[in-house]
Each structure stands twice: as C-alpha cells, then as structure tokens.
A = this chain, B = another copy of it.
Amino acid sequence: MKIALAQINPVVGDFEYNFSKMRKIIKESLRKGISLLIFPELSLCGYPPEDLLFKPSFIKANRKYINRLSREVRGRMVVIAGFVYQSEERAFNSAGVLSGGKVRDVYSKILLPNYGVFDEKRYFHPGKDITVYVDEDIKIGLTICEDIWGETVVSGLKRENPDLVVNLSASPFYSGKLSLRKSLLAGRAKKMNSFILYCNLAGAQDELIFDGTSMVINPQGKTIIQGRRFSEDLIIFDTQKKYRPVKLRHNTVEDIYRALVLGVKDYVSKNNFEKVVVGVSGGIDSALTLAIAKAALGRENVLGVIMPSQYTSKETLSDAVKVCGNLGVKNCVISINNIYDSFTKELSSFSHFSGFSLAAQNLQARIRGNILMSFSNQEGYLVLNTGNKSEVSVGYCTLYGDMVGGFGVLKDVYKTKVYKLASFINKINRKKVIPQSIIKRPPSAELKPNQKDEDELAPYPLLDKILKLYIEKDECRRDIIKKGFDPKVVRKILSMVDRNEYKRRQSPPGIKITPKSFGKDRRMPITCRFSS
C-alpha cells in the first residue's frame, strides 16, 4: 500500500485556490498509484481561520468544497483532508474521509488546544469517537494534531492496536519545536506499537509559521521518512518497503532564518503585495531585515529608504548605503532635518520642546515613519518593520515612529539572535553582505549625541537572558534576582516590560519563532498594577 502525505501551503479563506491545489495533488497521486493520500489539518480552508468560523457562509463553503473534492477521488484511492464540519449548529475541526466520489466518513478532533496561540474551544465542539479504519488488511487510526499530544486519544487508539496512526497537523513553528515534536511522536509510536504518519502544513499565516517536515515514524520510534522544511512537499511511504532511520541535522539559526524568509514571503504575497520598503538606518536590525526581504522577494521588489538626521554619523550613513549596495537593493536618501526643523518651529511656542528631550527623539522617529508610510501609500510598498524582540519587550522604540509597518520581521527575534542571523547570512552568501562595521558598532538609536542602546538599557546578552526568564518562563522578580542578576537591573527591565504593554498592543503583527511571542501567545492587560 502506497501512502502519500501532502504538506501544502493553503491560503486562509481561499477555498478555490486550496481546492485547486489539492485536486492537482489528487491527480498526481492517482497517476502514482497512491492508495491513501493525506492532507493537513483544516487544509481546505487554511489554518487558523479564527472568527471566520462564526460566519455561516464560511462553514457552508467548507461543505461545498469538501464535496467537490470528494468527486475528484476515483478508483480505490482514499483521501483524508482537513475541513470544518458542521452538525446541529456545532462546528468541528474534522477530517473528511473521501473515496469513490463521496465523503464516506468524518472524523472530528477530540482534544482541542486552547492555550498559547490556540483558541480552539472558542470555535469547535470536541469529537467523541476514536476512529480506526481497515484498508487492505491494514488497520489505520485517525488523529488530528492535539489528539496525539494528549493521553486520552492515544490510550484509546492503543487498545485498537492499529498498524498505522495518521495525524493531520497544523503545528506552528518555534525554534526547538521540531525536536520536541520528534521525541513526542517517537514516544507515541512506541506506546501504540504503530507507524505514525504525521502530515503538517507548510506556509505562513499572519504571525504563525508552519514548517512542514511531515514524517513517517516507525513503531520503534525512529523517523524513516521526512519531508522538506518550510516548503511544500509530497512524501510517499510504501508499506511494503523496508526503510532505514534517517538522520537529518537542523541548524537552529538556519531554521529561524528560513522561518523568517517564509514568513515575509507569504505575508507579502498572500496579502497581494509585491514590493516592500525598509527604513535602513545603518544599524544591524534594518540590515538583517533588508537581507531577509531580499531573500524572500528578490532584490527588485525591495527598496531601502535611508533617512539621516543631524545625529546620524558618517559611518552609519555610509554603512546604510553599503548594505543596500551589497544586497543589490535600490535605495534613496531623504534627510529628515528640514522636516524636523519645521515641526520644532511650530511646536516650540506651545511646549518646552528641547532638542534632546524624549519628545524630540520620538519626533525624529515619527518623521521617518511618515516618510516610509508615504512610500507605502504612494507607491504600494508594504512597510516592513525592523524592531527586534528585545526592544519591543522593553518599549525601546517609538510608537508610530520606528514601530510603523505592516509586518514585523524581527518582532520575536532577540537582539543577541539578530547578531547570529547576521553572521549566518554573511556565511551563506560567501561574501559579507552585512558589513562588519555594522556588526561591530555598538547599537545606537542615534536620536541624540553619543546615544548607546546598552547605556540606556543593559548589555544585550544580559537583557535577553532576563527577558526570556520574565516573558517566556513567567518567572517573578525575586526568582530572577535569585539567579544572580543585579536587582537594580532586573527591577528596571521588568518595569519597562510591564509599562510598555500599550505600545505592543499597537505594534505590527510579526513572525513567531520562540515558544512565547508577543501577539496571541501573550495576552496581558494594559491597565495593570501588578508587579511580580
């Protein structure tokens, strides 16, 4: 029996597009003599559809297209595809079992995740019945994503003694998730003494990256086939064949790089943009963002806008020009000095507007934001935001200034990781596209003379360690201090994180690459007087 796992990249809500893609793969699989073809979780409508699920017309489209899809399934072939099933006004996260031109059966996800970025209990009712099919004397258990992570469904299936357990998945990427996933699936395979056929989405949707990497795991818990990472793939498993375990190493930094490139590519194209604009400061965040944008979209679709002020050093400006040149990206230089002067002239009569005040610094950042948005509005560029997780965490950024943009490329990337990504890019490009001078210069916002990030915050390696403990581990001040960090520094950083929730609430969406990103992953009140 030949089984295919189709890790596809659907578009949320684009039924016609998703259907056509799936039909093409069904045809290809028919030609290849596939008996069983698996598509990922909710692949027909895209994942996660969020509140589209409350629209009766959206549910109806699911029914229409699963029926259309079933009519493509001919001969003895069976197709299993994720879609939204509705019965008695209740919606289910389901898998349609299609054969002989019909929807033969519907399995519904039993365990609904409602943590992290997931809100499935908001939308779905849980399925009830553990489901096992027998085809060509092979006993196949069916599960959807979370079903295989929890205990109840696995224990139920184990009693049925299946040969293969299929898992339709939409499992969001973060750095380290793959090894977690593999060790979980290995344990499940051994526990059920069964092959596991794990079929994951591949593609990006808003803040989430689905990294593909569908897998076949043998009953000994070894991965014997593995699909591509971060792109579509069709992997074929022949139950008659012998397979040896595969060993594929993944580089953490490369993984993140590919996630970011995919995230930008899909956000831009799925939202019908072609071109992006990046404010290039001569610093490392914008250099990295520019390099990722070029990798995602091609240099012809990227514009660098360089906006020096009186505080921009000659070196920084020259680096900004250089990095555009190295990447082959068009750039233009627009000084903000005259605009800044016209603002201060108008404002100085109304408030005590000093040149080095926070307001004056913010104003410079906002003028730059305005210029970028003018390019967006006038020429149809999407503005990519360049803010990293360290600065977004502590609010070291200007709302409506450097925080403008349709999409935050580095929003979940700590500054220390930004450096690693820059080195990685220089390595894979075999020439230093990001100038060493950018990598070596101490980071500065250059909004007043002699400004250095690390003077105003803390050294980045220290900052990032504290942020991880506070944001991702939910540790309290006392426990962090106990780990040996300077109490003064800890107190300052935690209070900055708490105080800046209002800024993050208005920040562009960005790509999730850590276990807990800002966005649906972390839902803090703005009005809040708790300090841990």
Given known pairs A13-B528, A527-B267, A529-B14, the reply for A357 and B338 (CB within 8 Å) is no
Contact present for A532 and B502 (CB under 8 Å):
no
Q: Answer yes or no: A206 CB below 8 A from chain B CBs.
A: yes
Q: Answer yes or no: A28 CB below 8 A from chain B CBs.
A: no
By Cβ-Cβ distance, the 3 closest A-B pairs, closest first, are: A13-B530, A57-B476, A359-B377
Given known pairs A56-B476, A532-B57, the reply for A51 and B362 (CB within 8 Å) is no
Q: Least Cβ distance of A397 to chain B in Å?
A: 13
- 26 CB < 8 A contacts A-B: A12-B528, A17-B529, A49-B530, A50-B523, A50-B524, A51-B522, A51-B524, A52-B524, A55-B530, A56-B476, A58-B530, A114-B122, A270-B529, A334-B350, A336-B346, A339-B339, A339-B343, A343-B371, A347-B371, A351-B375, A353-B378, A357-B378, A362-B373, A363-B373, A400-B400, A505-B509
Chain B residues within an 8 Å CB radius of A375: 350-351
Q: 1/0 contact trace for A26-42 toward B, CB 8 Å? A: 00000000000000000
Chain B residues within an 8 Å CB radius of A462: none
Q: What number of copies of this chain does the assembly contain?
A: 2
Contact present for B51 and A502 (CB under 8 Å):
no
Given known pairs A370-B367, A509-B526, the reply for A378 and B351 (CB within 8 Å) is yes
* Residues in A324-339 with C-beta less than 8 Å from chain B: 332, 334-336, 338-339
Residue among A345, A507, A527 with the highest chain B CB neighbour number at 10 A:
A527
Given known pairs A56-B474, A122-B115, A526-B509, the reply for A374 and B13 (CB within 8 Å) is no
Q: How far, in angstroms, from A275 to B332 measured CA to CA in the complex? A: 41
Chain B minimum-CB-distance residue to A48: B525
Q: On chain A, which size bracket covers the interface?
A: 35 or more
Chain B residues within an 8 Å CB radius of A358: 377-378
Q: Answer yes or no: A54 CB below 8 A from chain B CBs.
A: yes
Given known pairs A334-B350, A373-B399, the reply for A525 and B52 (CB within 8 Å) is yes
Contact present for A270 and B530 (CB under 8 Å):
no
Q: Least Cβ distance of A263 to chain B in Å?
A: 11
Q: Answer yes or no: A61 CB below 8 A from chain B CBs.
A: yes
Q: Least Cβ distance of A466 to chain B in Å?
A: 15
Q: Answer yes or no: A188 CB below 8 A from chain B CBs.
A: no
Contact present for B400 and A369 (CB under 8 Å):
yes
